[in-house]
Structure 1
């Protein structure tokens, strides 16, 4: 399995796609995610940490470029850095729009920025790589869950959904790069030592960022005066925690394979889940058309059952 997964990681081309969604110039609804306050603020909590988090990833791997031994991993790392810079740019624009609704995104960015400043100052390069590897596993897991639950976005503004799935596709595309860099840098060390580093950084990351994201979520809900909106809270928990179960799958079910000593991100080969998006984008350069093609593929081959609103377009 490990040999096949490593082969896939060398076959997947990391392509930076310079996409501009111009969401700041559009009328984005206040509750843009399924017209629901609690659900929207959960996504806002994720959005709040994207720009600063992606920049941390870029800096971490830029510092490692000269130390990577494997030329194919070096090339993939360059692709990852370029993709993450574009993700940070587009999410920063989206965050400016959300801040216009009074969402205190700058508070969340400041908190995460202070945490990452501590990482940069006190942690070794290989420890930072361990954090980057588990962080990229979380984003790849979130992407995988979202591919399995496209219906979550049926009531969301098309351009925002297209932006998110551009991000999910590219997170899937480069999902093994951080892990491969860590393994490359640790190639002269013992397997046990590398595994211990992986588990330590995974445990600390879970213990730190899972409460942080959900604390930010509740903070946003409170600042918006929606803390007593029981209907919205129920709708959000039903979807995120139980129905689509985004949170349990992202942080638990999808994380469990990471514990295996033989784990590799491409042990789950979901290239087919993003192939339709990539094909149409390569032909048209249009992320909205690519997102439509992605929905069509999943409606035919996956578990996606579009709502009445979306059924006519799929």
Structure 2
């Protein structure tokens, strides 16, 4: 327009090939997250480094609780194929857009989700070392997301399901950042989940905004919201049940009591999620209307402080 040629835009799909975890230096066993302020209007992946020593991760690493531990273990397993599914769907949608700003945000979103998948893949090795058969569940989840959702439902309904999923994972991110459930977890796992949760809040509106841009149908949004909720709680339930069964504790009194406390009476994950899901039904709903900026900003401020404190020791 101004006579000077614009630099060619980098393809959105390239981001998943270019993102790599920060290289681990010799003697560095502490988790690392690149310090950068909360910035939902300029999404970019942060470089990270995570490693998990099997000796530091007990079988029930969340306060000695089987139910709480396998809640997070289940999320960890199904997140890997689902985040890869999200990157494929949003990348495909982004290739069809003429809006350069939205395309840039999609690249940032995909970079963050690709980074999440890599970090959780590292922890999968710890679960395998503990004797958990996670690979069968991984193959099942990947087949569901790639064949049933991606190929069977089409790109717009897949995107709507992702928008609904992101709405509920933002709620779970609040639960992680605002609660004390992980207070007794190993430090590296606390860092992993808090970093992931803060980035979920940072990009929580992107899939919704993209859906509204490509197809503003209210029935499509509601169908996607229902699918997203089904994916979250369906895979949580299946994953926890498989892990309990694997350990032979599915019908033990302690397992049943802790699971009821987790979802209904103490932590109330399911009961607290109901008003969040109902809010998604409002015609005028937008993710930004739920103010979660403060808790994400506090997390990233802690990261900056930690890194600043480590600089003199590194020097």
Would you say same fold, with TM above 0.5? yes
- Find the partner of 1:265 among 282, 287, 292: 287
Residue 298 of structure 1 corresponds to: none
- Find the partner of 1:246 among 247, 259, 269: 269
Once residues 102 and 248 of structure 1 are traced to their aligned partners in structure 2, the CA distance between those partners, rounded to angstroms, is 32
Residue 229 of structure 1 corresponds to: 252
Whose helix proportion is higher, 1 or 2? 1
Deviations 1:184-233 (A, max 9, x none): 112xxxx5xx1010111222343455233202211210111222432243
After TM superposition, the runs of 4+ consecutive aligned structure 1 residues lying more than 6 A away are: none
Once residues 201 and 276 of structure 1 are traced to their aligned partners in structure 2, the CA distance between those partners, rounded to angstroms, is 31
- Find the partner of 2:143 among 83, 96, 114: 114
Once residues 184 and 290 of structure 2 are traced to their aligned partners in structure 1, the CA distance between those partners, rounded to angstroms, is 29
Deviates more, 1:236-245 or 1:33-42: 236-245
Q: Is the 8 A contact 1:10 1:72 kept in 2?
A: no
Residue 220 of structure 1 corresponds to: 243
Residue 219 of structure 2 corresponds to: 196
Deviates more, 1:46-55 or 1:117-126: 117-126
Deviation at 1:49, TM superposition (A): 0.3
Deviations 1:285-308 (A, max 9, x none): 48x99xxxxxxxxxxxxxxxxxxx
Aligned pair 1:46/2:75, yes or no? Answer: yes
Residue 64 of structure 1 corresponds to: 93
TM-score, structure 2 as length reference: 0.79
Structure 1 residues 165 and 224: CA distance shift in structure 2, 3 A: same
Once residues 32 and 272 of structure 1 are traced to their aligned partners in structure 2, the CA distance between those partners, rounded to angstroms, is 28
Q: Is the 8 A contact 2:164 2:227 kept in 1?
A: no
Deviation at 1:246, TM superposition (A): 1.8
Once residues 13 and 164 of structure 1 are traced to their aligned partners in structure 2, the CA distance between those partners, rounded to angstroms, is 22
Once residues 237 and 69 of structure 2 are traced to their aligned partners in structure 1, the CA distance between those partners, rounded to angstroms, is 13
Deviations 1:245-277 (A, max 9, x none): 123323x22211111111111111211112122
Aligned pair 1:180/2:203, yes or no? Answer: no
Aligned residue pairs, count: 272
- Find the partner of 1:154 among 183, 196, 201: 183
Q: Is the 8 A contact 2:52 2:123 kept in 1?
A: yes
Once residues 37 and 25 of structure 1 are traced to their aligned partners in structure 2, the CA distance between those partners, rounded to angstroms, is 17
Deviations 1:146-177 (A, max 9, x none): 2232x111211111011100000000000000
Once residues 24 and 179 of structure 1 are traced to their aligned partners in structure 2, the CA distance between those partners, rounded to angstroms, is 38
Once residues 46 and 124 of structure 1 are traced to their aligned partners in structure 2, the CA distance between those partners, rounded to angstroms, is 25
Structure 1 residues 236 and 121: CA distance shift in structure 2, 3 A: closer
Q: Which runs of 5+ in 1 are unaligned?
A: 1-8, 290-314
Q: Is the 8 A contact 2:54 2:129 kept in 1?
A: no
Once residues 49 and 292 of structure 2 are traced to their aligned partners in structure 1, the CA distance between those partners, rounded to angstroms, is 26
Aligned alpha-carbon RMSD (Å): 2.3
Aligned pair 1:143/2:173, yes or no? Answer: yes
Once residues 132 and 142 of structure 2 are traced to their aligned partners in structure 1, the CA distance between those partners, rounded to angstroms, is 18
TM-score, structure 1 as length reference: 0.80
Q: Is the 8 A contact 2:80 2:121 kept in 1?
A: yes
Deviations 1:103-156 (A, max 9, x none): 22212212111111222222222111101111111211111122232x111211
Q: Is the 8 A contact 2:39 2:202 kept in 1?
A: no
Once residues 261 and 120 of structure 1 are traced to their aligned partners in structure 2, the CA distance between those partners, rounded to angstroms, is 26
Once residues 281 and 169 of structure 2 are traced to their aligned partners in structure 1, the CA distance between those partners, rounded to angstroms, is 17
